[in-house]
Amino acid sequence: MNPFLHEKYSRQILFAGIGEPGQQRLLASGAVIVGCGAIGAAAANQLTRAGVGKLRIIDRDFVEPSNLQRQTLFDEADALAALPKAIAAERKLRSINSSVSVEGIVADLSPSNAADLLAQFDLILDGTDNFETRFLINDFSVQNGKPWIYAAAVASYGLTMTIRPGATPCLACLMETQQQGLEQTCDTIGVLGPIVNLIASLEVAEALKLLAGRTEALHDRLISCDIWSGHFQSVRIPRNPHCRVCARREFAYLHGEAQPHITMCGRDSVQIHDRTRVLDLALLRNRLSPTVSDVRHNEFLLRFRVPPYEMTVFSDGRAILKGTKDPAVARSLYARYIGA
Ligand SMILES: [Zn+2]
């Protein structure tokens, strides 16, 4: 290693778990972060400083003022310019560590682009805000034997688990047997900066072990924390021998079968139909009322405004979004307000 790089990463090299061989492997490795919200931005920041050789950031959103409370990579100028997060992140990360090859991609990860965007990297990190994308990553990971790290946070609570196909349970082992879905989202019940940065730190520590070739140090546990109550948990999750993904190898999300069906309806509207979901509209109304405007509700539908959009949600999980023709925008709004 040249003296300049040795000095730059000297404190990490001194750490016994990494050492010079570990740092060499980090420098030669590549990671892709899907979603650059609070967790993705914090993970990108740490991986860039740690000297991962190649980093790709994929994100479909723009920086907004409400992001700045917790998304540590962005500033007021980014929000004023409504810069795509992937672009703002790429600029900031390059100024943090010019030795790292950073690439921001403005895109919505989908079954059609997943292989192109993910295949060439050693590790995939979860920075997404919805389970549709997480299950797509999980399908791709298991199909291709590529590790990924699940990470999520809402309010003061977060959790993370490292998934290594063949060695650990997968996300479907965890979620599809326990019927637990994260109904609430950061856009409806809020989120604190400390929990996203804590979860991102746990995620990056696992990433450093994997990329430095120290797999024996991985804890192979689901870690969950609530920084408000002080409740921390570390649980070993069993593999599901009948798992849809890692046992039966049915990659429904990768094949697009489980994607919400999106169709154009009218001149400036999009319809999303999530076939897997039945909604309790009264509960949804109570949850959304503090954060959206003009909420109207009857036994068939719930309608509300998120300017410039109007969203109408039906109890069978269907939603119509007025004000956009863009399926990616519709999918993003659905994930934010209805859940995924
Ligand atoms: Zn599984």
Question: Around ion ligand 1, which residues have CB less than 5 A away?
Answer: 170, 172-173, 243, 245-246
Does residue 322 have a pLDDT over 80?
yes
Instruction: Report the distance separating Cα 269 and Cα 318, nearest Å.
Output: 13
Most confident of 71-75, 172-176, 288-292: 71-75
Residue 25: strand, helix, or coil = helix
Instruction: Report the distance separating Cα 316 and Cα 273, nearest Å.
Output: 8
* Alpha helix stretches (DSSP H) within 100-169: 114-118, 131-144
Mean pLDDT over each residue of the chain, to the nearest integer: 90
Find the catalytic residue in 186, 225, 243, 246: 186
pLDDT tens column, 145-155:
999 999 999 99
The model's confidence at residue 56, banded by pLDDT at 50, 70 and 90, is: very high
Closest C-alpha among 183, 181, 217 to residue 19: 217
Instruction: Report the distance separating Cα 238 and Cα 219, nearest Å.
Output: 14
Q: Which helix (H) or strand (E) holds 61?
A: none
List, edge to edge, every strand of the sheet that includes 123-126.
Answer: 101-106, 54-59, 30-34, 123-126, 148-154, 157-163, 222-226, 231-235
127 CA distance to ligand 1 centroid (A)? 20
Burial profile 27-57: b = 16 or more Cβ within 10 angstroms, e = fewer: bebbbbbbbbbbbbbbbbbbbbbbbbbbbbb
pLDDT tens column, 88-111:
999 999 999 999 999 999 888 889
101-106 vs 54-59, strand pairing mode: parallel
AA letter at 103: E
330 CA distance to ligand 1 centroid (A)? 29
Is residue 199 within 8 Å of 152, Cβ to Cβ? yes
Q: Is 23 exposed, middle or buried (0-12, 13-18, 19+ CB in 10 A)?
A: buried
149 CA distance to ligand 1 centroid (A)? 14
pLDDT tens column, 187-235:
668 899 999 999 999 999 999 999 999 999 999 999 999 999 999 999 9
Token code pair at residue 301: 């539908």
Which DSSP category does 237 fall into? P
Token code pair at residue 67: 């992001």
168 CA distance to ligand 1 centroid (A)? 8
170 CA distance to ligand 1 centroid (A)? 4
Q: How many helices (H) and strands (E) does the chain have?
A: 13, 14
Question: Which pTM was predicted?
Answer: 0.80
With both helix axes pointing from N to C terminus, report the angle between 131-144 and 171-178 in degrees, rounded to the nearest 10.
130
Is there a catalytic annotation at residue 225? no
| pLDDT attached to residue 265 | 62
Return the ∠ at Cα 338 (arms to 332 and 340), rounded to 5°: 70
The structure tokens 């069906």 sit at: 261
